[in-house]
């Protein structure tokens, strides 16, 4: 038994198709136009949609595009007349599963519905596996960055303890000395436990869409990887330009954007994972470029022999708000995306990283997440690096 949504402005078609499908044991919902279909689709989440191609108001293809923004895995079967086959083919290019000609061959339609649902189940399982895999990979990355975040406070604590011993041996120890040392140690351990708190927060998946400030999320990602980037000599900056056309560069100092909020409606933790994926890729590209010596002597005067650590890596994030859209552009100087993979980087399992360094699903997952939030993610090479752009059109929200 499946939940099936029939969308057709012809009540006769809805009635007869509905009756047959109900008789076959399915739960049938009906919509007489595109807008109604979008509403029912959002609230009821059917397993499959039968969608008339020619309807007054928003037509079949436009409705299809809207449904896909909500959930691109639900199969949509177009219902069409003989004269509209080329438009139906067009619908398939836009992601429809198949089309059926009027008058409908019911047996064929039932088989198509069955196959479409089987395919959807497989795709959902596959996506779950990929999400799981991607989370594990990110988990590994995050443990690495916690190790970085902890290195500094651990060595400070180490020094303070050694100093306590020396102070005691030299007779300098008194109540004030002890209090100062204890205070410093507590500060360091507080910082360490905050890092763990941020980390746990990061992995809680968001259940529902909510309004959140993009800039705040980017800064939270930065605070998790700050030390790691610094130890790799990679500069990181965030610039924001809101609809008032003023730019504030002070964002890295954890100041909120003074002019406006860069708020959207979506999944903040998932968004942070996307930013982390993109920034980690930029970091890898910069480190790779150094070891391969591509930045080389001729450009910045680095020789591979001295490790090229002296070369300043650069990751710059620009957030820009325009009427009706928000863009987040991440730019690096890691040498750019290799030409051999540039057209495929958003497909699963495409990686140029050696051994177990990359699984090739970071960008695939990022694209799925951004699409689920009604946005798009794309990339191109500029100058001596890559630029990844996230663009949100809908669901721009106001924060209270």
Question: Per CB under 6 A, does 352 bind ligand ATP?
Answer: yes
Among 262, 328, 345, 377, binds ligand ATP (CB under 6 A): 345
Question: Per CB under 6 A, does 274 bind ligand ATP?
Answer: no
Among 24, 54, 350, 397, binds ligand ATP (CB under 6 A): 350
The stretch near Mg ion (CB under 5 A) out of 71-79, 294-302, 356-364, 375-383 is: 356-364
Q: CA 278 to CA 387: how far, in whole Å?
A: 10
Q: CA 22 to CA 8: how far, in whole Å?
A: 17
Q: CA 394 to CA 391: how far, in whole Å?
A: 10
Q: Give the nearer residue to Mg ion in terms of CB position, either 51 or 386.
A: 386
Among 50, 88, 137, 142, binds ligand ATP (CB under 6 A): 137
Q: Give the nearer residue to ligand ATP in terms of CB position, either 122 or 139.
A: 139
Tell me phi and psi for residue 311, to 5 degrees: -75, 130
Do the beta carbons of residue 286 and residue 280 sit within 8 Å?
A: no
The stretch near ligand ATP (CB under 6 A) out of 151-159, 197-205, 233-241, 348-356 is: 348-356
397 binds, among ligand ATP, Mg ion, none (CB under 5 to 8 A by kind): none
The stretch near ligand ATP (CB under 6 A) out of 99-107, 112-120, 302-310, 330-338 is: 330-338
Question: Per CB under 6 A, does 332 bind ligand ATP?
Answer: yes
Do the beta carbons of residue 50 and residue 5 sit within 8 Å?
A: yes
Among 386, 389, 390, 392, binds ligand ATP (CB under 6 A): 386
Q: CA 63 to CA 118: how far, in whole Å?
A: 23
Q: What is the DSSP string of 337-389?
A: --TTTTTTTTSTT-----TTS--S-HHHHHHHHHHHTTEEEEEEEETTEEEEE
Q: How far apart are the first and last CA of the chain?
A: 44
Question: Per CB under 6 A, does 341 bind ligand ATP?
Answer: yes
Strands, DSSP E only, in 140-241?
A: 210-213, 234-241
224 binds, among Mg ion, ligand ATP, none (CB under 5 to 8 A by kind): none
Q: Give the nearer residue to Mg ion in terms of CB position, either 273 or 281.
A: 281
Q: CA 139 to CA 203: how far, in whole Å?
A: 8
- Nearest to residue 55, comparing CAs of 106, 109, 21, 14? 14
Q: CA 198 to CA 196: how far, in whole Å?
A: 5
Among 318, 358, 391, 396, binds ligand ATP (CB under 6 A): 358
Q: Give the nearer residue to ligand ATP in terms of CB position, either 64 or 146.
A: 146
Map residue 61 onto helix, strand or coil. helix
Q: Give the nearer residue to ligand ATP in terms of CB position, either 308 or 337.
A: 337
Do the beta carbons of residue 280 and residue 141 sit within 8 Å?
A: yes
Residues 266-295 that bind Mg ion (CB under 5 A): 281
Among 63, 112, 359, 389, binds ligand ATP (CB under 6 A): 359
Q: Give the nearer residue to ligand ATP in terms of CB position, either 80 or 359.
A: 359
- Least separation, in Å, of the C-beta of 381 and ligand ATP? 8
Q: CA 181 to CA 179: how far, in whole Å?
A: 5
Binding residues for ligand ATP, rule: CB under 6 A, are: 137, 277, 281-282, 285, 332, 334, 336-338, 341, 345, 350-353, 358-364, 386
């Amino acid at each position: 038994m499946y939940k099936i949504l029939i969308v057709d402005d012809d009540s006769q078609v809805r009635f007869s198709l509905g009756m047959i499908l109900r008789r076959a044991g399915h739960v049938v919902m009906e919509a007489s136009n595109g807008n109604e279909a979008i509403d029912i689709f959002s609230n009821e989440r059917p397993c499959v949609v039968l969608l008339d191609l020619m309807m007054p108001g928003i037509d079949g293809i436009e409705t299809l595009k809207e449904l896909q923004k909500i959930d691109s895995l639900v199969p949509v079967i177009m219902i069409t007349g003989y004269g509209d086959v080329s438009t139906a083919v067009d619908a398939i290019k836009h992601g429809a599963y198949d089309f059926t000609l009027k008058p409908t061959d019911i047996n064929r339609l039932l088989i198509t519905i069955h196959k479409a649902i089987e395919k959807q189940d497989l795709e959902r399982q596959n996506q779950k596996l990929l999400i799981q895999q991607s989370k594990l990979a990110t988990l590994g990355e995050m443990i690495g960055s916690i190790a970085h975040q902890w290195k500094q406070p651990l060595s400070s604590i180490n020094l303070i303890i050694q100093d306590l011993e020396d102070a005691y041996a030299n007779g300098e120890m008194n109540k004030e000395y002890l209090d100062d040392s204890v205070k410093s140690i507590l500060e360091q351990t507080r910082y360490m436990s905050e890092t763990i708190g941020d980390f746990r927060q990061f992995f809680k998946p968001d259940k529902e869409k909510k309004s959140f400030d993009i800039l705040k999320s980017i800064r939270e990602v930065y605070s998790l990887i700050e030390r790691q980037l610094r130890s790799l000599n990679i500069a990181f900056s965030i610039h924001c330009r809101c609809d008032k056309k003023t730019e504030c560069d002070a964002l890295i100092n954890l100041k909120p954007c003074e002019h406006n909020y860069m708020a959207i409606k979506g999944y903040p933790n998932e968004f942070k994972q996307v930013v982390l994926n993109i920034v980690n890729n930029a970091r890898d590209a910069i480190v790779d470029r150094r070891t391969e010596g591509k930045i080389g002597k001729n450009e910045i005067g680095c020789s591979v022999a001295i490790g090229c650590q002296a070369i300043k890596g650069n990751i710059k994030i620009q957030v820009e708000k325009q009427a009706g859209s928000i863009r987040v552009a991440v730019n690096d100087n890691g040498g750019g995306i290799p030409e051999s993979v540039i057209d495929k980087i958003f497909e699963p399992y495409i990686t140029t990283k050696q051994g177990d360094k990359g699984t090739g699903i970071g960008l695939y997952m990022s694209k799925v997440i951004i699409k689920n939030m009604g946005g798009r993610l794309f990339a191109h090479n500029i100058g001596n690096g890559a630029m990844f752009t996230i663009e949100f059109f809908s669901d721009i929200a106001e924060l209270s």
